[in-house]
Structure 1
Amino acid sequence: MALHFDQTEFDARRDRLTIEMAQKKLDALLVFAQESMYWLTGYDTFGFCFFQCLVVKADGQMVLMTRSADIRQARQTSTLDNVVVWTDRDGANPAAELRNLLNDLDLLGCRIGVEYDTHGLTAKNGRLLDEELKTFGTAEDASAIIPRLRLFKSAAEIAKAEKAAALSDDALDAALPLIKQGGDEGAILAAMQGAVFIGGGDYPANEFVIGSGADALLCRYKSGRRKLNKNDQLTLEWAGAFHHYHAPMMRTVLTGKATKRHQELYEAAYDALVACEEAMVPGNTFGDVFDAHARIMEAHGLTRHRLNACGYSVGARFAPSWMEPQMFLAGNPEPIAPGMTLFAHMVVMDSDSGTAMTLGRTYLTSEGAPKPLSRHGLDLIVR
């Protein structure tokens, strides 16, 4: 069995969940998010893109229903001892098989929470599930329960995040010598991902973002590579991942000379990130952190060049995104509390002049000021 946490850690997570379920008067929770399954049991796969469900009863009993390809995966990577298989075949309805399992677990007529808000439950499968539950019990959306529990990291999880952050730093160190005139984006990507793998890390939950020239203004990965010019801009967003825990970073690195506009955007990004750090303390909310970012961008005349979010919680995540649902955006009432790992990114994309500037790193919150998890500073990098 390949577990990344000890049994007492998993027991504590289960107990936190069952307490929450009792408060919400749920007899069972149908878990479809892969990160929820991983957090509760250690179960590690990419087969969640097909139908699978972890049933958690109010007494803490857990049963995983999955496909035949994942049964050994579950036994090898998780604490689960009860794994059942639904049968792949033409016209199969796994939701009907799940209903039969729920019946075997004496849940007929019970109050059942469902994790709807996840890529582990497609709209098609969700409709099949609703049809089966309609005459079986009372179903309700319980998508937010486990993500909120996961927002607060244990000491063991913080250690994973710190290792992930060290791998993020290693990736930047590997990239910097290659960022120069004639430097190839493919070689830069290979060096960064290679550094993470060599350090014992994982594939991230989404692709690293890389773009130079006009593509430096993009905030997403896209296919296609180019080589850097003498005076160029390269935007990178990447994350070290260790046992699926992520610590993202973001930088726009320049070759040659920084233009006046680059310098202006960098100063705004730096000031905004510092303001976010100052707001990232208990007593404030996620919305307050965004407001600090927006206030600085407005002061620099950059409101129309900024994004409508400036970061989010991070942790153990699976494809297609390393972003957690708790985000720094306007009006978010989620309180800042100690023991959170939060990524703040300042993204300024001036399409008028074709100028990009980004600055971001991951923090661990505390009773006071947050701790940056990166060993790298915030200086503008010009190669």
Structure 2
Amino acid sequence: MALHFERQELANRRARTIEKLEKKGLDGLLMFRQESMFYLTGYDTFGYVFFQCLYLGVDGRVALITRAPDLRQAQHTSDIEDIRIWVDGPNVNPAFQLRDMLAEFGCSGKKLGVEYEAYGLTAANGKKLETALDGFCSLEDASGLVSELRVVKSAAELDYIRKAAELADDAWDAALDTVHAGAFEGDILAAMQGAIFSGGGDYPGNEFIIGAGRDALLCRYFTGRKHIGETDQITLEWAGAYRHYHAAMMRTIPVGKALPRHIEMHKVATDALVACREALRPGEPIGKVFDAYARVCDQAGMQAHRLNACGYSMGTTFAPNWMDWPMFYHGNPVIAEPGMVFFLHMILMDSETGIAMCPGHSVIVTETGNESVSRHSVDLITR
């Protein structure tokens, strides 16, 4: 069995989840987020692209409904003992089999929480779920219940975060060895991801972001690779991933020479990063972190070039993205706590000049502030 945590830690996580369910007056939780399943049981799969539900009752009962390809997956990667298989067919609604299982557990007339905000519960499957359970039990949105527990990491989880950060640093070293005038973006990606795989890491929750020239102003992956020009720039955003725990980084590298606008924007972005780290303290709302980013950028006349958020939580995430809850934006009331992990990205993108500058790295909130998990500085590097 490939469990990445002690069985007692998994049991303790389920016990804390049950406490939250009881406080909310819920009799059980229907989970469709793969992150929740991994966190509470160790179950590791991409089978959530089909209908799949993990049930946790306040009595501690755990049961999984999934497809046949994930039977052995669940047996090998999790501590789930009760695994039910639904069979594919032209008119099959597996939610009815879920209802039958819940009836077996005495859930008729009970109140269950549902992770509606989940990539594993499409709108179509959500309708099937509500159709099957209509009149059987009452449902309440409990999408954030497990996520609120996951946001503060245990000592074992922080070890995985630090390992992910080492791999992210290794990928940055590989990029610095590969980025130069004439370099092919595909070779850069291969070197970065290869460094992470060689270090024992995983695929990340989403693709690495890479773009040279004016594409350096984009912060999403897109298909199509090209070569770097003699005088150019390239923006990279990537994450080390280890046991599905992520530590993201971001940089813009001027190629050939750094233009005056690069230098100016780098100064503003790194000043903003310092201000954000000063604002990220335990006991303070994380909305203050975004306010620090906005204040520094706006005072430097770069309001039009910044974004409306400047980072988010890092943790165990599955495709399609590595962004976790919560995010840094104005007014976010979530209070920072020791053990939280965040990616701070100071993105500046000037569409008029075509210049980008996007330094960023991940940090762990401590008892007094926060610590960077990267061994690299955010100094401006030119290739």
Q: Which residue of 2 aligns with 1:267?
A: 267
Shift of 1:286: 1.4
Q: Which residue of 2 aligns with 1:364?
A: 364
Deviation by residue 1:254-289 (Cα, 9 ceiling, x = unmatched): 111111111111111101111000001013111110
Structure 2 residue 346 is matched with structure 1 residue 346: yes
Structure 2 residue 69 is matched with structure 1 residue 65: no
Q: Which residue of 1 aligns with 2:168?
A: 168
Structure 2 residue 54 is matched with structure 1 residue 54: yes
Structure 2 residue 82 is matched with structure 1 residue 82: yes
Q: Which residue of 2 aligns with 1:209?
A: 209
Structure 2 residue 258 is matched with structure 1 residue 291: no
Q: Which residue of 2 aligns with 1:2?
A: 2
Whole-angstrom distance in 2 between the partners of 1:26 and 1:68? 30
Shift of 1:18: 0.7
Deviation by residue 1:309-348 (Cα, 9 ceiling, x = unmatched): 1000010000001001200001110001100111110101
Whole-angstrom distance in 1 between the partners of 2:328 and 2:359? 15
Shift of 1:304: 1.3
Whole-angstrom distance in 2 between the partners of 1:118 and 1:344? 24
Whole-angstrom distance in 2 between the partners of 1:133 and 1:295? 49
Q: Which residue of 1 aligns with 2:239?
A: 239
- TM superposition score normalised by structure 1: 0.99
Whole-angstrom distance in 1 between the partners of 2:93 and 2:191? 44
Whole-angstrom distance in 2 between the partners of 1:339 and 1:222? 33
Whole-angstrom distance in 1 between the partners of 2:288 and 2:47? 38
Deviation by residue 1:127-151 (Cα, 9 ceiling, x = unmatched): 1111222201111000010000000
SS at match of 1:349: strand
Q: 1:312-323 to 2 correspondence within 5 Å?
A: 312-323=312-323
Whole-angstrom distance in 2 between the partners of 1:252 and 1:12? 42
Does the aligned pair in 1 maintain the 2:179–2:188 contact within 8 Å?
Answer: yes
Whole-angstrom distance in 2 between the partners of 1:60 and 1:18? 7
Whole-angstrom distance in 1 between the partners of 2:177 and 2:322? 27
SS at match of 2:291: helix
Structure 1's unaligned 5+ residue stretches are none
| One-letter amino acid of the structure 1 residue matched with residue 117 of structure 2 | D
Whole-angstrom distance in 2 between the partners of 1:284 and 1:265? 28
Q: Which residue of 1 aligns with 2:28?
A: 28
SS at match of 2:95: helix
Deviation by residue 1:143-188 (Cα, 9 ceiling, x = unmatched): 0100000000000000000000000000010111111111110000
Whole-angstrom distance in 1 between the partners of 2:132 and 2:2? 35
SS at match of 1:325: strand
Whole-angstrom distance in 2 between the partners of 1:42 and 1:325? 20
| One-letter amino acid of the structure 2 residue matched with residue 257 of structure 1 | K
Deviation by residue 1:34-86 (Cα, 9 ceiling, x = unmatched): 00000000000001011000000001110000001110100000011110001
Structure 2 residue 37 is matched with structure 1 residue 37: yes
Whole-angstrom distance in 2 between the partners of 1:369 and 1:139? 40
Whole-angstrom distance in 1 between the partners of 2:73 and 2:177? 39
Segments ≥4 residues shifted beyond 6 Å: none
Whole-angstrom distance in 1 between the partners of 2:283 and 2:80? 39
Does the aligned pair in 1 maintain the 2:62–2:82 contact within 8 Å?
Answer: yes
Whole-angstrom distance in 1 between the partners of 2:214 and 2:298? 24
Whole-angstrom distance in 2 between the partners of 1:191 and 1:165? 17
Whole-angstrom distance in 2 between the partners of 1:325 and 1:9? 22
Name the Cα RMSD after superposition: 0.7
Shift of 1:381: 1.1
Taking every aligned residue pair, what percent have the same amino acid on both sides?
Answer: 53
Count of residues in correspondence between the two structures: 383
Whole-angstrom distance in 1 between the partners of 2:283 and 2:110? 39
Whole-angstrom distance in 1 between the partners of 2:374 and 2:2? 28
Whole-angstrom distance in 2 between the partners of 1:25 and 1:283? 28
Whole-angstrom distance in 2 between the partners of 1:296 and 1:227? 34
Does the aligned pair in 1 maintain the 2:28–2:112 contact within 8 Å?
Answer: yes
| One-letter amino acid of the structure 1 residue matched with residue 311 of structure 2 | G
Deviation by residue 1:60-119 (Cα, 9 ceiling, x = unmatched): 110000001110100000011110001111111011111111111110000100000010
Structure 2's unaligned 5+ residue stretches are none
| One-letter amino acid of the structure 1 residue matched with residue 358 of structure 2 | T
Does the aligned pair in 1 maintain the 2:210–2:236 contact within 8 Å?
Answer: yes
Whole-angstrom distance in 2 between the partners of 1:35 and 1:201? 18
| One-letter amino acid of the structure 2 residue matched with residue 187 of structure 1 | D
